Amino acid sequence: MNQDRVESLAQFHPFTRLNKLLEGVAPGGGNTPLLLSLGEPQFQPPGFAVEAIASAKDAWSKYPPTAGNEAFRAAVAAWLGRRYGLEPGFVDPEGMILPVSGTREALFHIALSAVASGLPRGKGRVLMGNPFYHTYAGAAVVAGGEPAFLPAGRATDFLPDPDAVPAELLSQTAMVYLCSPANPQGAVAGKDFWRRWIALARRHDFIIAADECYAEIYSAAPPPGALEAAQETGACDHVVAFHSLSKRSSAPGMRSGFVAGDRRQLARIAQLINYGGVAVPLPVLAASTALWSDEAHVAENRARYRQTFDIAERVLSPLFGTVRPAGGFFLWLEVGDGEAAARALWQEAAIKVLPGGYMSRVDEQGRNPGAGFIRVALVYEPAMMEGALGRMAQVLARLEGRRSVARAAGQGG
């Protein structure tokens, strides 16, 4: 990889930039530091998952097969049926479900596959919304492709509009990353959104990487899925869905998820894992099988997040209006200057958040659509979040007061 590409990778990694922004700044206010910058749930996963790992301890001495085992694939197929109404056999457990060591790795691998097969045909562009999850852009660059950023602000309901993508760009596209509920904004894609993107993918022959890692955290109705929409067309070619236990089951340290869909793409991902990836260990597969088979702990998680969002509404709505997203566990708050707010929150309240501009790129109008926002991950217990959100509100209210004074002074001049 040439030096230009190495340097471009650094610009896409938000936490490297955040560390630089806060370098030399001590967490203040006499408070215990809280990391609300990272989407890492701080709740304990169910005890039965730990017991499943312990019961399978003899399997630590075995190399795990890339395809996992029959019990895992059957549990995932059953969950897809319950969650999305997929008919038995629509997603074949033997060739269309693959366990992965966390979906970040799988989201990275699919770009390597899609760009490698697309470049000989002049298809090296990788589409994603703007803002975006940094792995999308990093994977596109490492694969030798070129990220292309699609507007995903209020004008498009925080999701990239398939009807607004130029035909010339679509003809050069190897893959599109689509995330619902969206990271960072929490927007939920409807079935029509998925249908329109699937039609484009088949017409222009590119892959849809449907990142649905937050699909089990929602405020009202369960978010529709890409495979659910694909079933209405009778096939799931050109579509790969990604799911994780990190958010659903509060088990990020297990590094366990799955991909499902287009048989050819899953075979390519499996080959990449064979050469340079990590197959999911058998004891972890045992725990994962148990977690995908249980819904009670997921309902408890969802209730916990809803309670926290109730607190956020009460504490922050006087400043921002409605803050509750349709899905996911992030707040996406418009604060005027995301970097200044992030620095002030760390310095004055010991709360670390992510500037929205670090998840976005300058658009055709020369504007970074995330620069005025911060992303806040509500990943601690509700009681702890209540205190943290109260501290945040105090700091952000002071910043808003300063902005109001500055605006008034500017108008008066």
Give phi and psi for 251, each to the nearest 5.
Answer: -130, 55
pLDDT at 276: 87
Residue 176's Cα: distance from chain center in Å?
14
123's tokens? 């298809």
**Single residue among 276, 293, 310 that ends a domain in this structure:** 293
Based on the structure, what is the number of domains in the chain?
A: 2
What is the block-wise mean pLDDT of the chain (413 residues), using blocks of 10 residues? 57 91 92 94 95 97 96 98 97 97 95 96 97 96 96 96 97 98 98 98 98 96 98 97 97 96 96 92 98 98 97 96 97 97 97 97 94 98 96 95 62 45
Looking at residue 95, which CATH number applies to its domain? 3.40.640.10
Does the model's pTM come out above 0.85? yes
372, 339 Cβ separation under 8 angstroms: no
Please list, in sequence order, all residues whose beta carbon lies within 8 angstroms of the beta carbon of residue 30, skipping any fewer than 6 positions away: none
What is the rounded distance in angstroms from the CA atom of residue 374 to the CA atom of residue 351? 12
Q: Find the domain containing 368 and state its range.
A: 3-44+297-402
101, 258 Cβ separation under 8 angstroms: no
Tokens 């996911």 -> residue:
328
3-state secondary structure of 32: coil
Pair (289, 304) in one structural domain: no
Pair (226, 212) in one structural domain: yes
Pair (306, 271) in one structural domain: no
What is the rounded distance in angstroms from the CA atom of residue 285 to the CA atom of residue 175? 29
Any domain includes 76: yes
H or E stretch at 65: none
pLDDT at 413: 39
Any domain includes 387: yes
What is the rounded distance in angstroms from the CA atom of residue 342 to the CA atom of residue 373? 10
Pair (107, 127) in one structural domain: yes
Any domain includes 412: no
pLDDT at 5: 55
Looking at residue 345, which CATH number applies to its domain? 3.90.1150.10
Any domain includes 407: no
Pair (52, 39) in one structural domain: no
What is the rounded distance in angstroms from the CA atom of residue 267 to the CA atom of residue 244? 19
Pair (127, 138) in one structural domain: yes
pLDDT at 400: 85
Any domain includes 410: no
**Single residue among 257, 275, 293 that ends a domain in this structure:** 293
Any domain includes 229: yes
Pair (119, 165) in one structural domain: yes
pLDDT at 412: 43
Pair (379, 358) in one structural domain: yes
Any domain includes 413: no
**Single residue among 228, 261, 293 that ends a domain in this structure:** 293
Pair (209, 162) in one structural domain: yes
pLDDT at 409: 61
pLDDT at 230: 98
Pair (139, 252) in one structural domain: yes
What is the rounded distance in angstroms from the CA atom of residue 169 to the CA atom of residue 148? 9
216, 301 Cβ separation under 8 angstroms: yes
Pair (119, 158) in one structural domain: yes
Pair (206, 135) in one structural domain: yes
Any domain includes 364: yes
